[in-house]
A = this chain, B = another copy of it.
Amino acid sequence: MMARPLKQRAAMTSDLILAVDGGGSGCRARLVNGTGVLAEVTGGPANLMAGDGRAPFEAVLAVARDALATAGKAPAALADCRAVLGLAGATPDARSRFFAFAPPFAETCIVSDGYAALLGAFGGEDGGIVIQGTGAAAAVLVEGRLTEIGGWGFALDDFGSGADIGRRALRAALRAHDEPGAPPPFAAAVLKAAGASPQTVMDWAQGAAPRDFAQLAPRVFDAAEHGTPEAEAILARAAEETARLVRLCAAHGAERVAVLGSVGRRIAPMLHADTAALLVEPAGDAMNGAVIALRQGLGHCA
């Protein structure tokens, strides 16, 4: 009968913060307290829109447990953590689903991955970000007011994302297959990477998740570096989307823009001077931003 009051007191006096940055291909977690970083780990996909929301919930729990273990804390310390989750797909419905699974933290706050990255990139100050990872989105903070741009998901848009790059590579390969004569080497290599034949690729694509398409993106970057015209064309198209999002950030009042994400970092150097002039390096990452969100009371909490 003693355990419960003790535990509750611990929860109230603990300064443990678990910051999670989660997207369609994976998540990262950082455990901090007042003195610094205690652990940093990576985990599975945590886009809140995935399926019925159970998978991203489990991914967050797994990465939280892993962070505690890495820091040498007991599993029960989960209940002492204030968790702040910067997650892709954090629509109101998706957030409600997440809270309905009853997260075991002392407090759970959710912000969008974009908001977390934005707060981290400029240390809570004004600015704009474009993120291109598995998905693509942008966000702007002007006089403390957040405007989210894009991020409409793979089914409708997400152009310039890793998933879009992979989808375009497959499409180009299938279109090459439709031409008379033998397909060029790039088309053959892309089809081989995704399945045995155009028919199997088509069947596969029916049920494939954005992260499945995104797994083809590194191959496109590599082929472009080797001067493959089809790959260069796909990346040029992605860079157009990056530039469009950078311009939208400026149109919403951002005077500086950071281009983030595994794909964005590789595309940023391709931008033309007009948009490149707006670009800055980020000051911190999305987990820094999540902690700022928690401290400034900016998330949706339960």
Contact = CB atoms under 8 A, between A and B. Distances in A.
A167 B248 CA distance: 22
Contact of A174 (B49, B152, B202): B152
Contact of A156 (B92, B149, B180, B202): B202
B153 A199 contact: no
Given A152-B198, A251-B180, A203 B93 contact: yes
A283 interface: no
B152 A91 contact: no
Contacts of A205: 152-153, 155-156
A153 B202 contact: yes
Contacts of A170: 156
B157 A175 contact: yes
A202 B149 contact: no
B156 A252 contact: no
Interface in A175-222: 175, 178-180, 198-199, 201-203, 205-206, 208
A86 to B, nearest CB: 18
A171 interface: yes
A92 to B, nearest CB: 7
A217 B49 CA distance: 26
B202 A178 contact: no
10 contacts: A49-B203, A91-B202, A93-B203, A152-B171, A152-B201, A152-B202, A155-B167, A157-B171, A180-B251, A180-B252
Given A93-B199, A153-B206, 8 more contacts: A149-B178, A150-B175, A152-B174, A155-B206, A156-B205, A157-B174, A157-B175, A180-B252
